[in-house]
């Protein structure tokens, strides 16, 4: 059975040894706190690990701008609007794990326009889809490994927020570490990961190691 938002909340509350919720709209301090943390923590997991259940491969669309550009790249493409993180840019029919990378990702100051520049005249991208975690259809897509890692991370936040016992703080740190290892084990663990936004640029040249991603850790 696919997980629901309520299932994820109650998994986290159980891990934190707290009372479960009867409904997703229950008027409680723990539910309000989870509402604040839920999408942020889940979104960070999507960005920083390569999850098979939301991996998409598409042809990129060129912008109206033409190169070569001042930064040396020849072609400019629109990034997929629904992407949480671009993992691999490749020519058609070539998606090897060790594919040569040669591109840069650019954002403007408002982060409203996203483009990717590369020397590929015909570029494709493997990317992680950005899900709406309040939308039942999107939540139903999550696999069990993602749900368990997310619940543990949320439980760590609950313990840190509501427990006054110093020993529980140590437990929260241990839960965060377990969530990290679980995400590594259940995700594909490949790709360039997600740059912190806003940023000027991210360049990748040469071969990308399999473990070259940013762990999500304990998201504040």
Residues 104 and 164 both lie in one domain: no
Residues 126 and 197 both lie in one domain: yes
Q: What's the token pair of residue 1?
A: 């059975």
Residues 125 and 163 both lie in one domain: no
Beta strands 61-62 and 201-206, pairing class: unpaired
9-34: per-residue pLDDT in tens?
A: 999 999 999 999 999 999 999 999 99
Q: What is the mean pLDDT of the chain?
A: 78
pLDDT score of 42:
94
Sign of CA dihedral 37, 42, 43, 44: positive
Whole-number Å distance between alpha carbons of 170 and 197: 30
DSSP sequence for 194-219: ---SS-SEEEEEEPPPTT-S----S-
Residues 113 and 196 both lie in one domain: yes
Q: What mean pLDDT comes out for the span 114-128?
A: 86
Global pTM? 0.75
More confident: 182 or 190: 182
Residues 202 and 123 both lie in one domain: yes
Specify whether the CB–CB gap between 13 and 5 falls below 8 A.
Answer: no
Residue 196 in this model has a pLDDT that exceeds 50 = no
Residue 124 in this model has a pLDDT that exceeds 80 = yes
Residues 143 and 120 both lie in one domain: no
For the chain, percent of residues with pLDDT exceeding 90: 37
Domain that holds residue 124: 55-130+192-206
pLDDT score of 111:
52
Tally of domains within the chain: 2
């Amino acid at each position: 059975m696919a997980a629901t938002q309520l299932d994820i909340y109650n998994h986290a509350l159980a891990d934190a040894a707290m009372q479960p919720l009867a409904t997703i709209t229950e008027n409680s301090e723990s539910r309000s706190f989870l509402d604040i943390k839920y999408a942020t923590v889940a979104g960070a997991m999507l960005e920083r690990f390569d999850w098979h259940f939301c991996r998409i491969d598409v042809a990129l669309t060129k912008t109206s701008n033409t190169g070569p550009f001042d930064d040396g790249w020849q072609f400019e493409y629109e990034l997929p609007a629904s992407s949480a993180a671009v993992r691999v840019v490749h020519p058609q029919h070539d998606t090897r794990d060790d594919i040569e990378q040669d591109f840069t990702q650019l954002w403007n100051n408002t982060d409203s326009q996203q483009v990717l520049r590369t020397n590929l005249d015909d570029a494709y991208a493997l990317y992680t889809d950005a899900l709406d975690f309040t939308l039942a259809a999107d939540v139903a897509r999550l696999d069990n490994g993602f749900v368990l890692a997310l619940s543990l991370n949320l439980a760590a936040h609950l313990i840190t927020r509501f427990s006054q016992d110093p020993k529980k703080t140590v437990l929260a740190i241990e839960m965060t570490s377990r969530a990290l290892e679980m995400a590594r084990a259940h995700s594909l663990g490949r790709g360039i990961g997600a740059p912190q936004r806003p940023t000027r640029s991210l360049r990748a040249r040469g071969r990308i190691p399999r473990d070259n991603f940013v762990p999500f850790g304990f998201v504040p």
